[in-house]
Each structure stands twice: as C-alpha cells, then as structure tokens.
C-alpha cells in the first residue's frame, strides 16, 4: 500500500517544506482543486508530474467563487478519500487550508478580471471569476510553482487564469490538460455526483450536442443553424441552456472563423449545472 501524502494546512508550513527542495534546484508543479477528486483531477496530477520534479495538489472549496444560493454548502468534501487517491501518485504534499487561513478576519483584497472573463460564465455567475482569480493568485503566490495545471473542461477559467498570470507577471507557466470523459462522453466533474439516474442519462446530450455541432461546422453549416439545432436538442432532452456559443479559442470573443475556435456550453438538468466545451 502506498503512503498517504503529507498534508499542509497553512502557507508557512508549506513554504518551509518547499524551501530546501527549491534550493536543491527541484522544480515544482501545482494542481489547484476543490477536492472530490476523480480521474479528471488525477490526469492533471499525471500531467504535472511530467512537467516538474515535485507536485503539490491543493484542495480548497473557495467560498469566494460561489454566490449565495449556489452549492457551496453541498459541494462534496471528501478529504480522506482524496488523500487515498493521491497516495498512488507520488505527490510531495497536499495543501488543505481552511477558510480562516485563506481569508483571515480583515481580508480586504479582491482581484477583478475582465478580458476572457467577460460573457459566458460571467453572464450567469457574475461573482465567479473574481473569486477564482483571487484564490488562484493566492495559491500561486503561496507555492510559487514553476508550472500550474488546470483542466480544459473549465475552458474559460483556464483562459482567465492564463490572463491573470500574464497580467500580474506571476512566475508560473499555466498549462491546460485535456478533459477526461466517462465512457459515454460526459465530461468528468465533481458536480456529476449531484445527478440522479435519469439526469445522468440526460447529461450525455451535452457532449453529443458538442460533437454534432463541431462536425456540422466541419461540413460547412453556418453557426446560426448549428446553434439553433443544438439548443433545440438540449431543450428536448430536458436541459435549460445558459449558453451554447462559438468563441475564439484565446480571447473568447466572437471568432472571425470557426476553424480553431471553441464551442462552449453551460446547461442545467434539474438543479445541476454542467459545463463543457470542444475544439472545432
Ligand atoms: O476548477 C476548480 O476546481 C477551481 O475553480 C479552482 C481553480 C481550484 C479555484 O478554486
């Protein structure tokens, strides 16, 4: 049986542990997560290991990226099984701060980000990317990794974090890792746990709609037609769609051409909101 990774609960302890390794010239990769780890997260850890000598995983359900009434309280918290899963991946440490460590009394700073953060998710969750940018900046400054790895499933988030690192001259390379999917194509997500049996069956429509839309664009159909059909399919299968949009893969504005662009979708089945995306 593999050993459980070392847990660090505060920034000072984590920095003290990393200092001698950094002095030896070891490179460090960070994989920020909110826990409830699944194969998607573990693929990020694998990618991180390819990029650096040492891997740190962080687990923190960040209250600043949830609005009142969203699923902050019910978000799955599975620390023991997360550590068990990481035991097989030779990570040097897992940073699991509590909210007081990240946001002590009197905490007064917030990062406001625009550019790729505008539109899409922000139209529906306006608080979200400032919360993400604030916590990710804090995590990157706590660990000062050479590389940090984020999933392409949260594609807009990945672009936002790349922008953040560039704008703030953070000395970390931000890398995306491909979405990991269930056998039927559903993108892996900690929120899939909320789906009941019927919703789980419905959920596959999202990745199917993305694949059909991509193929239709390849076949020369117009985006207007493609989008109309996708919205109709999602509605018919029981989804309420927030957006199904074709965007430039880098700045996430409207693209001049579909080639190399990205289709991004967010839709709700029951109370569960799922997001996914695909490269055209
Ligand atoms: O993608 C996530 O799990 C979170 O948004 C992140 C990047 C860990 C920030 O809280």
Whole-angstrom CA distances from 115 to 79, 159, 164 are 34, 9, 10
As averages over each run of 10 residues, the pLDDT of the chain (280 residues) reads 91 98 98 98 98 98 96 96 96 98 98 98 97 98 98 98 98 98 97 96 98 98 98 98 98 94 98 97
Nearest residue (by CA) to ligand 1, atom 2, is: 33
The confidence score (pLDDT) of residue 2 equals: 78
Provide the β-strand partners of residue 175.
149
Rounded Cα gap, residues 247 and 280, in angstroms: 10
Q: Which residue has a Cα nearest atom 9 of ligand 1? A: 132
31 lines ligand 1 (CB under 6 A): no
Query: Which of the listed residues 94, 125, 136 should we mutate to test ligand 1's pocket, taking the one with most ligand atoms within 8 A of CB?
Result: 136
Nearest residue to 98 (alpha-carbon basis) of 28, 189, 8: 8
Catalytic-role residue among 41, 124, 218, 248? 41
Cα 63 to middle of ligand 1, angstroms: 11
Tokens of 228: 């109309």
CA-nearest residue for atom 3, ligand 1, is 33
Q: What six digits make up the tokens of 126?
A: 């306006």
Cβ contact 86:37 at 8 Å:
yes
In testing the pocket of ligand 1, which one of 125, 140, 150, 157 has its CB within 8 Å of the most ligand atoms?
157
Residue 41 is a catalytic residue: yes
Global pTM reads: 0.98
- Helix 223-236 × helix 197-218 angle, to 10°: 170
**Ligand 1 mutation target, pool 31, 34, 75, most atoms within 8 A of CB:** 34
Question: CA–CA separation, 246 vs 226, rounded Å?
Answer: 10
Helix (H, G, I), strand (E, B) or coil at 165: helix
């Amino acid at each position: 049986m593999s050993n459980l990774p070392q847990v660090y609960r505060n920034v000072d302890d984590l920095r003290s542990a990393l200092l001698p390794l950094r002095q030896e010239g070891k490179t460090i990769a960070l994989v920020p997560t909110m826990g409830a780890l699944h194969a998607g997260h573990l693929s990020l850890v694998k990618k991180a290991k390819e990029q650096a000598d040492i891997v740190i995983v962080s687990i923190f359900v960040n209250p600043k990226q949830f609005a009142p009434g969203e699923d902050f309280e019910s978000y799955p918290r599975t620390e023991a099984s997360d550590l068990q899963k990481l035991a097989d991946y030779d990570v040097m440490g897992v940073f699991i701060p509590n909210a007081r460590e990240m946001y002590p009394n009197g905490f007064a700073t917030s990062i406001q980000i625009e550019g790729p953060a505008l539109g899409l998710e922000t139209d529906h969750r306006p608080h979200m990317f400032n919360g993400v940018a604030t916590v990710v900046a804090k995590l990157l400054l706590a660990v000062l990794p050479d590389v940090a790895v984020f999933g392409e499933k949260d594609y807009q988030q990945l672009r936002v974090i790349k922008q953040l690192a560039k704008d703030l001259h953070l000395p970390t390379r931000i890398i995306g890792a491909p979405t990991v999917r269930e056998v039927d194509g559903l993108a892996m997500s900690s929120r899939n746990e909320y789906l009941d049996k019927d919703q789980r069956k419905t959920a596959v429509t999202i990745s199917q709609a993305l694949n059909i839309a991509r193929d239709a664009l390849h076949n020369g159909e117009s985006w207007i037609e493609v989008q109309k059909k996708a919205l109709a399919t999602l509605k018919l299968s029981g989804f309420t769609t927030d957006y199904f949009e074709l965007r430039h893969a880098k700045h996430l504005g409207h693209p001049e051409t579909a080639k190399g662009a990205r289709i991004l979708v967010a839709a709700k089945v029951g109370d569960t909101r799922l997001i996914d995306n695909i490269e055209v």
